[in-house]
Copies of this chain bind each other. A is one copy, B any other.
């Protein structure tokens, strides 16, 4: 029999990894709750019609599809015609359901489906796995958790500020050092495209500007030229790439450059509102930076966009989000503005390991192992249950085996205390051993409970 294995790109999580992962989810969840977000969950499987066409062609290919069952499968087989049907068509004939690809589309579906039960503005969070048939590589998995919060049904800029406060409190709780929130606004990118007179080039412009940090001004300009931007357009964009300094300076430059673009100026104004707030009310922990080159893909964002990065960390952004004006439009509910954020648990995990900032989990791990040494096992069971009922995480070693084996178990599981029970003339005595210091002391049961409840 070959050794069992799991599908490529998926993971088993050991007890130690689970403690760390739960810690991350708990901190994020607590921050979401403290801001008044309410948790929902949606099914792992959605109708393929809900998922298809929402993530681009590449995304459609990466959706895991679930085979039809029973007669439906046989029927769908009959309709297959690999000569005439494309692969995508055949997949859709064989499968009516798929695994969710993110939490955003299911959320939009949820809002539209349950719109009459929802009290808007709806502040929801969701922490669930998603699946993508991407080529697995370091840090990229086929099953991974997303931790999303959204406010839908309000276009107030107070939400942008609240989300940045939320980010601050999350990373403060984690104790991750060197965290910055980069903020930009899609309307500024639209404004730039508009003033060049080549608005149809917005994607090329955005993609090129996004590379400024990595390749520098000259190569960005070269790329723009290669993509068909005219010399005049490039001469309009160039000064933007040279803007340096604090947000006040950037804002005033942008106001000048974008003076003929209504949408561009709207974007500048929105950014200004957010940054003015944080000027008067600085954050506790993370820095906020205006980054005109931030683009965040080319998806549904229409206003503020933000991304959280960690100095020195090689993992890319640990969180990101932005405002969208028509997310639920895809399911028929038009003109509902919203804003959302997503935390990347796997990347946060790696950063926390790197910075060595995970807390100690000893309060949710076994504190006491009662040694099974041949004394009346009923008495050992009773005692273990008593100590446990007083709040001490307690195990009785189940088998009466050699002490060495029981101590190996305690050490292997990092159990800090073991208890030896002995009886003489019907009187029990209890010796508690500290597994780190090696110290052994005789105590009564109440004192053991008190000591271990520290």
Residues of chain B with a CB closer than 8 A to A384's CB: 162
A371 to B335, CA, bound (A): 24
Evaluate contact between A377 and B158: CB separation under 8 angstroms: yes
A360 to B170, CA, bound (A): 26
Evaluate contact between B77 and A82: CB separation under 8 angstroms: yes
Residues of chain B with a CB closer than 8 A to A50's CB: 4, 6
Given A39-B18, A66-B64, A94-B67, the answer on whether A156 and B398 have CB atoms closer than 8 Å is: yes
Please give me the residue from chain B that is nearest to A331 by CB atom.
B4
Tell me the A residues contacting B by CB distance below 8 Å: 1, 3-7, 10-15, 18-19, 21-22, 33-36, 38-47, 50, 61, 64-67, 69-70, 73-74, 77-78, 80, 82, 87, 90-91, 94-97, 99, 109-110, 112-114, 117, 119-121, 123-124, 129, 131, 133, 142-143, 151, 154-156, 158-159, 161-162, 165, 169, 276-277, 280-281, 331-332, 364-366, 372, 377-378, 380-382, 384-385, 388-389, 393-396, 398-400, 408-409, 412-413
- 7 extra A-B contacts, CB within 8 A, seeds A6-B109, A7-B45, A65-B67: A4-B331, A10-B43, A22-B39, A44-B99, A67-B95, A121-B409, A156-B398
Evaluate contact between B41 and A13: CB separation under 8 angstroms: yes
Q: Report the copy number of this chain in the oligomer.
A: 2
Given A80-B77, A399-B154, the answer on whether A114 and B12 have CB atoms closer than 8 Å is: yes
A99 to B119, CA, bound (A): 35
A80 to B78, CA, bound (A): 12
Evaluate contact between A90 and B61: CB separation under 8 angstroms: no
Evaluate contact between A12 and B34: CB separation under 8 angstroms: no
Evaluate contact between B388 and A121: CB separation under 8 angstroms: no
Evaluate contact between B331 and A1: CB separation under 8 angstroms: yes
Residues of chain B with a CB closer than 8 A to A110's CB: 12
Evaluate contact between A12 and B398: CB separation under 8 angstroms: no
Evaluate contact between A394 and B6: CB separation under 8 angstroms: no
Q: List 28 A-B contacts (CB under 8 A).
A: A3-B112, A4-B50, A4-B109, A12-B42, A12-B113, A15-B40, A18-B40, A38-B413, A43-B143, A44-B143, A45-B64, A64-B69, A66-B99, A67-B94, A67-B95, A74-B82, A77-B80, A119-B412, A120-B409, A121-B409, A123-B395, A154-B399, A162-B396, A165-B385, A169-B389, A277-B378, A280-B378, A281-B381
A277 to B35, CA, bound (A): 49
Residues of chain B with a CB closer than 8 A to A36's CB: 366, 393-395, 413
Evaluate contact between A7 and B82: CB separation under 8 angstroms: no
Instruction: Give, as a whole number of angstroms, the nearest-CB distance from A56 to chain B.
Output: 16
Evaluate contact between B65 and A66: CB separation under 8 angstroms: yes
A18 to B408, CA, bound (A): 41
Residues of chain B with a CB closer than 8 A to A377's CB: 158
Evaluate contact between A33 and B393: CB separation under 8 angstroms: yes
Residues of chain B with a CB closer than 8 A to A123's CB: 395
Evaluate contact between B158 and A4: CB separation under 8 angstroms: no
Residues of chain B with a CB closer than 8 A to A11's CB: 43
Evaluate contact between B41 and A10: CB separation under 8 angstroms: no
Please give me the residue from chain B that is nearest to A369 by CB atom.
B36
Evaluate contact between B15 and A38: CB separation under 8 angstroms: yes
A5 to B33, CA, bound (A): 28
